[in-house]
A and B are shown apart, each in its own frame.
Chain A
Amino acid sequence: MQVKVEPRSETSRAVVYATPVLAVLLTVISGYFLFLFLGLAPAKTLYHFLISPTLTFYGWSELCVKAGPLVLIATGLAVGFRANVWNIGAEGQLTLGAIGAGGVALAFWDQSGVWILPLMCFAGVLGGMIYGAIPAYLKTRFEVSEILTSLMLTYVATLGLGILVYGPWRDPQGFNFPQTRMFTDSALLPLVLDGTRMHVGILVTLAAAVAAWVLMTRAVIGFQVKVVGQAPAAARFAGFSRNRTIWLSFMISGGTAGLAGTFEAAGPVGQLVPHLTPGYGFTAIIVAFLGRLHPLGIIAAGFLMAISYNGGEIAQVEDRLPQAATGVFQGMLLFYLLACDFLSRYRIRLASSRREVGPS
């Protein structure tokens, strides 16, 4: 008997959708041994990590709070990834979005009105787009790798936010803490359900996911994005502009990241602080891949990642699990997913050896 690996002539749909499940399973098994290695009770820790966050209604509302920005950003990133445009600086675009929205909120701190929130959203989206425009311009004009520029700009954005909250935007009554004033009610997102932290951002996110779905399956633009990603020469042949697609990708992903930053600042955080998120912009990359770049898959993946955040916090309290374990889980999941992808492109068969070449 020998193991034969053969490319599939067509990628198997069933396997494509089964691989994320398999990857999650393998991650859980690896997590068991990781916890064992860390000297924790693995079953109990896994329970806290994966099950506890989903047991209460409030728990679910908290998952929505975390999943919201992840899904929103990942939805935008997925469009670019389909076009082979690697915007990995969503965290920076998110930060710029928050700065834009926060700037509006602080500028009109002494005013109230229903127009403030829409203006903040506009400023947030614009901030994300402008920040996304830099790598897009450098890529289309000079062929500079968007991977490196978008990432470098993330560090710059975080430092920029630092300048503001340590300096001019610092809360005058804040005992010198590096944070802005709390936003007024006019600058805060309304809650969907009282008693939770779930804000209207989650509804916008769902709408964005549906819009992305329609765009990618029904619109010529979505088709263009896919062709540019899969076969650049065919895209040129079809009359689809690569540069326009790069711009489109950065505008969509920069815009959604900026909006997510707006929602974080005007939602659960309610002000600007030096580190607004636990790295949603990077985690969203995993969410996009885990969700197979598909809006529905991304929603499911977003909730899974939210569980890893909230479960990580619970296990930190209950089992003294180091906070960094969440990151390890997320990275591991992506590894397993990439490894499992092999199964959707290749068939592994056990075949009886038939090789009889040579002297016999």
Chain B
Amino acid sequence: MSFDYAPAPESRAVVSIKPKYGHFIAGKFVAGSKHFPTINPATEEVLSHIALAGKAEVDAAVKAARKAYTTTWSKMSGKERGKYLFRIARIMQERAREFAVLETLDNGKPIRESRDVDVPLAAAHFFYHAGWADKLEFAGLGTSTKPHGVAGQIIPWNFPLLMLAWKVAPALAAGNTVVLKPAESTSLTALLFAEVCQQAELPAGVVNIVTGDGTTGALIVNHPGIDKIAFTGSTEVGKIIARAVATTHKSVTLELGGKAANIIFEDAAIDEAVEGIVNGIFFNQGHVCCAGSRLILQESVAEEVLDKLKVRMAKIRVGDPMDKNTDVGAINSKEQLMKIIELAASGDDEGAQRWSAPCDLPSKGFWFAPTIFTGVTQAHRIAREEIFGPVLSVLTFRTPQEGIDKANNTPFGLSAGVWSEKGSRILWATQQLSAGVIWANTFNKFDPTSPFGGYKESGWGREGGRHGLSAYLKGVGHE
């Protein structure tokens, strides 16, 4: 007798996708000139056609944002600004199912995650920041109450709506207006968000959304009418942006790559740690900048942890993202799949041992089975480069200090995980780790009140909490 899961598909009837989209500029949808297709990565079905913004569209968006800043938004009291943000949060909650379904169709992530993580957290970010709008004078040390002006914001494809919320909510609360560009492969929820702005009667031009690829992003980064750049994406592009704005007056925040260590000490609660390892690397197909992509195991428990991890991984349900029982969905694009395949192949070539969870992958769409590599050394590419996929590199250590040294041996410093049942060891390890977010006996938790961002080459600044808000206010202590 077997207990198989019956299919439990979420209905897509709740969304209506237009065959073609334009940009959202000065409160109105305007037709685009060139278009490119956006597909469902789980089926390769073309969902719609997205406009590619060129110079004219970016200029128009910046102009609209500037006008809204000078005539409306900067003159409005924080109290009133905040009310618009509260409205947005409420409308997002009302239309949550629509957002979740659209996100899953466009991104490939499991509906369970878009429904339970991405969309509620996005609404929570607006609700949290709404309350800051009339309290900027209490935002603390080194921060003024003055916004930068027009913010240019470029976001990635891994959490399309959530990253929009992380960017737009604090910017508006602080009194900036924005020009936002969603990622090329995941524009649909940003365009639905534009409708929310309309329903909230947000003054025209406060939020402008232009769609496109990296060329559109470069137009935003280099636009002289923009005062502040906020980017989430790869460290490689982050450095290009840092160089591009070096010669300008623009303020910058960057939320970049990671290669997080997840350290399991021998006194960890092993079963809980195994759940944490799975959540750390396979959440959102591993398309997470803070993913726990390096498992650093104390030698004495390495065998036990790996045995249990393989048993657990064999139960991960990979497949239709719209199925409510799915754990791991589709890789977001063919390009990303190729990158994962190439890096995994380097693991084989450099002598690590590959093990993949036994699972049937759909014939259409982009898929990669949850995979671990053991016998990984610190020099291996899979221990140094961000794979951004469901691939875990396993290293081992003997003494606690060796574990910390291996964890910190990376130019990244975004996040880390520590597992131990001993309080003093947890606090010691969190102190030693060079990372901006440390999850102790948990992993991949996010909250609008909790600052998120990296040390070293993982970026500049924080998002969330008072620290994140300050990135959208002019500093008082320095230029």
Partners in one complex: no
List residues of chain A with CB under 8 Å of any chain B CB: none
List residues of chain B with CB under 8 Å of any chain A CB: none
